[in-house]
Structure 1
Amino acid sequence: MKTNTQSPIDIMRSEERGFADHGWLVARHSFSFADYYNPERMGFRSLRVINQDRIAPGAGFPRHPHRDMEIFSYLVAGQLQHADSMGNEKVITPGEVQMMSAGRGVLHSEFNPSQTEEAHLLQIWIEPNERGLTPSYTEWQPAEGADPRKVLLISPDGRDQSATIHQDASVYRVKLAAGESISHDLAAGRGAWLQVIHGELTLNGESLKPGDAASSESEGSLTISSAEGTEALLFDLA
């Protein structure tokens, strides 16, 4: 990860991430995960996992357990079929988020139901502010009339029709057309992580490409601009 000495922003390039090719699954790991271990990349504040997964048609993760973690998937392309021990079953499509609080324990599976199309998603884990919570599941999709440039997906209080997370963490989808920009004010004592999905953008003048990430723990305004159009996730964390 590179630190810019002229602005309080750290940059992680896409190719610096961990990589795994299981045949049915090709994954990039921003932080240590499974067989990828890097003691300098154990997470960022409460953010513990960002995996960019590409799942082959008809393949997926069979039923397995989780506990004491807030887990959500953001679908980029294709379809993702979720099923869990709470009785939830759902197929999500691009732009949608499924949010699961594993709490004191839950079983779930995630499969690509298509027999022809790859599923492309980001799977993200955030540590909860309490252990042993009652497991829960919800979904999010854009509200009609929402400004697509910066939309709140997940928050601790469910404001603006967002999904609720058991942590002081707000997650935004950033989607800019060519020539657009947005700003985000980072309060004192908080940290921001920006993960680029599609397109190129600049964050306070720093150029980022697909798969790149940038973080800051300095109070102030963050300006995200794109000359060609882009999609990214922005995390604001206690």
Structure 2
Amino acid sequence: MIDVRPFSTLGGAEYGWLKAKHHFSFANYHDMSRMGWGALRVWNDDTISPFTGFDPHGHRDMEIVTYVRKGAITHTDRLGNVGRTEAGDVQVMSAGKGIVHSEYNQEPDDTQIFQIWIMPNKRHAEPYWEARTFPKEQNGRLTVLASGRTGDTDALPINQDAAVLGGSFKAGDSTTYTLGKGRYLYLVSTDGKIEVNGTRAESRDGVAISDLDSVEIKALEDTQVVLVDAPGLDAVAA
């Protein structure tokens, strides 16, 4: 199954300093048909105005992956972590038993991020934060950015048998991604049109995929692709 969810159909809200689009139910947006995709619970497409951001607030028992599309985001938390993550890079905050943090755009221009929440396979783990730079060359390949799968030793760790992947594609580039049994894929193209097994999606559309052995992702225009490969809800800690 391939279900394209056009950007125009996404939920969202505007708060002056923040323009948010929600791929799944979040905050004041509630759609029973879009409560998540397997263990993937949240995918927010946020635009944050200069010198504004999210004041200190808490999370627990959630794996939060932030992929920076444009600008940079500056993170601080009460564990003592401080870091600035730039466009094309990724940070992971494993909330575990509880963490208080803030996220600010301290840049002179808008910052755009994908904020991805994955439900963990264990509760009350020790919280942590980490960020990493990944290759940005347009090579038509997907790089594992964050993962809890066995064998993904070079990725930022998360507490779930899931993975977040990203890659830069030139128009005409294509790659094939193999799904495991019972897996749920969700992907978004950041800047250009793509095809997934011949089904077209526009920039920032969501593409929900399940019950397929593999998918071919083809870029019709230069773009970056971000993909989450998640297990079903039976893998989520009670």
Q: Which amino acid aligns with 1:53?
A: D
**Structure 1 residues 203-226: Cα deviation after superposition (integer angstroms, max 9, x where no partner):** 000111111111221131200111
Task: Using the TM superposition, name which of 23-32 and 171-180 deviates more.
Answer: 171-180
Considering only aligned residues, what root-mean-square deviation do their CA atoms show, in Å? 1.6
SS at match of 2:8: helix
Task: Using the TM superposition, name which of 228-237 and 126-135 deviates more.
Answer: 228-237
Partner of 1:58: 51
Q: After TM superposition, give the deviation of residue 141 of structure 1 in Å.
A: 1.6
Partner of 1:137: 129
The answer to whether the 8 Å contact 1:203/1:224 transfers is yes
Instruction: Please tell me whether residue 210 in structure 1 is matched to residue 203 in structure 2.
Output: yes
* Regions of 4+ moved over 4 Å: 143-148
Q: Alignment partner for residue 224 of structure 1, among 211, 217, 221?
A: 217
Partner of 1:23: 16
Partner of 1:191: 184
Instruction: Please tell me whether residue 123 in structure 1 is matched to residue 115 in structure 2.
Output: yes
Q: Alignment partner for residue 154 of structure 1, among 146, 152, 157?
A: 146
Q: Alignment partner for residue 98 of structure 2, among 105, 113, 121?
A: 105
- 1:165-180 equivalent positions in 2, closer than 5 A: 165-180=158-173
Identical-pair percentage? 37
Count of residues paired in the alignment: 230
> Taking structure 1 as reference, are residues 100 and 112 closer, same or farther at Cα in structure 2, changes over 3 Å only?
same
Q: After TM superposition, give the deviation of residue 160 of structure 1 in Å.
A: 5.1
**Structure 1 residues 15-54: Cα deviation after superposition (integer angstroms, max 9, x where no partner):** 1100211000001000111111111111111111111000
Q: Which amino acid aligns with 2:26?
A: F
Gaps in structure 2 of 5+ consecutive residues: 232-238
Taking the aligned partners of 1:159 and 1:167, their CA distance within structure 2 comes to 12
Compute the TM-score of the two structures, normalised by the length of structure 2: 0.92
Instruction: Please tell me whether residue 72 in structure 1 is matched to residue 91 in structure 2.
Output: no
Compute the TM-score of the two structures, normalised by the length of structure 1: 0.92
Instruction: Please tell me whether residue 163 in structure 1 is matched to residue 174 in structure 2.
Output: no
Q: After TM superposition, give the deviation of residue 227 of structure 1 in Å.
A: 2.4
Taking the aligned partners of 1:143 and 1:175, their CA distance within structure 2 comes to 9
Say which structure, 1 or 2, has more relative contact order (CA 8 Å, 6+ apart): 2
Gaps in structure 1 of 5+ consecutive residues: 1-7
Taking the aligned partners of 2:187 and 2:136, their CA distance within structure 1 comes to 25
